[in-house]
Structure 1
């Protein structure tokens, strides 16, 4: 039977990779937003900023979950 701490480590590692992907997507959206805004499409840029805000909000929750999983897997 697998050790629950092994499962937590694997889950935390997977979430960490997803979080890194989320940060990369956020950076890409931010770059595109600057370009769009500079070309006069302010409504589109505003929508992109709203998407960035959602990524930021969710990133903190994912980070908290990763930390909880890693703490529950730490040797005592």
Structure 2
């Protein structure tokens, strides 16, 4: 996240991109209030323009490359 706005809650699988409806991984918190949600593709496309207009960007695209921990053999 950038800027000095209050932290926002993490994005979930229920959060959808405002442009295409895919799972959202980027939140742009607008200066005038409100926010926009974007998938990774649209987040990359619009983040710089939004940031230059003062939006605070919450980027969680690292979730796309993080491998969840799997259960050990003892837990199965």
The answer to whether the superposition gives a TM-score over 0.5 is: no
- When normalised by structure 1's length, the TM-score is 0.29
Structure showing greater relative contact order (alpha-carbon pairs closer than 8 Å, 6 or more residues apart):
1
- When normalised by structure 2's length, the TM-score is 0.29
Higher relative helix content: 1
Higher relative strand content: 2
